[in-house]
Chains A and B, each alone.
Chain A
Amino acid sequence: MTMTADINALIAQMAVALQPYLDRRPIMIGIHTGGTWIAQKLHQSLGLSDPLGALDISFYRDDFTRVGLNPQVKTSDLPESVDGRHIILVDDVLHTGRTIRAAMNEIFDYGRPESVVLAVLVERDGRELPIQADVVGQHCTLTPGQHIKLVGPEKLALKVLEDNA
């Protein structure tokens, strides 16, 4: 099932909500893979001067001892220093909160940022950690067994998948 949400409209709405953060000269960092797609669009529409960063949190996942290493690890690419900088962390879907925890652990290995805000395209139910987003494109509640997934990057679309699908 494809959700009818207009992704570009959601991103435009997120860009407006991020305006108050811009005078801090923030660094934007997208989380691989879906988060980087959203971050690219936000980075462009906000005209941020610092290059866009990308994080692959595979080396920081909390389920390594259970499921092993992601077979397709991408390279993390952060701006030279995050020390004392304000960071806008971008992901596609906020669900359990574990990805964000891993991402913050990784960012702090690059330095000590002044602040981190979280912007997500979709905020859904099912949090397992005390983590919430500061900027949200869309809130949604799914029935048990349902998952929401961003596909792209040519044409971004949100898909709802069923466990037994």
Chain B
Amino acid sequence: MTVADIQFDEQGQLKHFLTIEGLKRDHILQILDTAQSFITLAKKEIKKAPLLRGKTVVNLFFESSTRTRTTFEIAAKRLSADVINLNPQHSATSKGETLLDTVNNLEAMHTDLFVVRHPNSGAANLIAKHVPPHVRIINAGDGRHAHPTQAMLDMFTIRAHKGDVKNLQVAIVGDILHSRVARSQIHALTTLGAAQVRVIAPKTLLPTEVERLGVHPYTNMHEGLRDADVVIMLRLQRERMNGAFVPSEQEFFNLYGLTADKLAYAKQDAIVMHPGPMNRGLEIDSSVADGPQSVILPQVTYGIAVRMAIMALIMGGKPVARKRRTSGSTRGSNGTTST
């Protein structure tokens, strides 16, 4: 069973959120549209919706994270769930407990949704295959494999600032090789039919045969950034490098660090994104990170609404063939609200 199969139920509805791979354009658009509705929630005096009232969400982070864990926590709390944050690498795992035993124990405490980050690729899939049918899993980053909620909030950001992804040239710059974010972004962008997706990096940081993902590789920033609408910078993941991938940080910055000079090759109204955490002066210059084209902080804000949308969509009951008795629950374009 592929990862794509695990995350759907028999009716083809999302039940886990593990990877962008295998999602249809409509799945992605539904998440983005739902997220749009959650944006206005923050305007309310009571910034909550009752959808996950009485549900327990466990943030299970085997790898450190500030942004992702916090936005997941806020998202779950705004949906009225009870949220527990765990860093098992500091407790159970360090005492020798296996991943699945940790999950079993938490499941025995009636957890409804696990948000999992793990340094090993495939950890979230493993858990999804293991848990009973009513438990849901969201992958919050597994090794070098995928970080699908980050890619979804990036798509949301692009749509919010540049409109339909279809017409856009998107350049992803930096440590493509070690980046689960880049992999998920590439799947999302190609599924949404972006005009062109480019990856820019030194050869040592480009996966072999990266073209097979439907992207155009560049090793030169000027060429790669030319007329780009969206520039996505990636963090240089020094903690995942064992060996010399880049000659020196100074040289990397000189060749691939996003400065105002290099950004000038992109379209004048191009936006600059970064999933965080940023290494200022390594992959991005402060003048760009804090400049007028940067949407790095809006990305964080959108991340809450996008994660709320994903949680709400996978945690809801399954749409069953409904009798017309409750016609209010089928509110189409000419629908009505007769319940």
Contacts and interface: CB of A to CB of B under 8 A. Distances in A.
Interface in A22-51: 31-35
Interface string B322-339: 111111110111111111
B316 A69 contact: yes
Interface in A134-161: 145, 147-152, 161
A62 B324 CA distance: 17
A93 B331 CA distance: 13
B294 interface: no
B50 A105 contact: yes
A70 B331 contact: yes
A63 interface: yes
Contacts of B319: 67-68, 71
A61 B53 CA distance: 12
A69 B324 contact: no
B57 to A, nearest CB: 15
Contacts of A91: 337
Contacts of B103: none
B130 to A, nearest CB: 24
A32 B312 contact: no
Q: Name the prevailing secondary structure of the B interface residues.
A: loop
B162 interface: no
Interface stretch (B30-38, B67-75, B171-179, B221-229): B30-38
A22 B244 CA distance: 75
A32 B331 contact: yes
Given A110-B45, A163-B324, A74 B337 contact: no
Contacts of B331: 32-33, 70, 72
Nearest to B48: A109
B2 interface: no
A33 B336 contact: yes
Contact of A64 (B317, B320, B332): B317
A96 B337 CA distance: 10
B205 interface: no
A163 B337 contact: no
A109 B78 CA distance: 12
B44 interface: yes
Interface stretch (A1-9, A10-18, A52-60): A52-60
Interface string A67-90: 111111111110000010000000
Nearest to B325: A163
Given A66-B317, A161-B327, A56 B50 contact: no
Interface in B295-334: 312-313, 316-320, 322-329, 331-334
B45 A99 contact: no
Contacts of B1: none
A33 B335 CA distance: 6
A19 interface: no
Interface centre among B322, B327, B334, B337 (most CB of A within 10 A): B337
B40 A76 contact: yes
Contacts of B322: 67
25 contacts: A34-B336, A34-B337, A56-B37, A59-B41, A63-B317, A66-B317, A67-B318, A67-B320, A67-B329, A69-B34, A69-B313, A71-B319, A74-B37, A95-B327, A95-B328, A95-B338, A98-B339, A99-B328, A99-B337, A99-B338, A110-B46, A147-B327, A147-B338, A149-B327, A152-B334
Interface of B: 13, 30, 33-34, 36-41, 44-46, 48-51, 312-313, 316-320, 322-329, 331-339
6 nearest CB pairs, A to B:
A68-B316, A93-B338, A59-B49, A34-B336, A109-B46, A73-B37
Interface of A: 31-35, 56-61, 63-77, 83, 91-99, 105, 108-111, 124, 145, 147-152, 161, 163
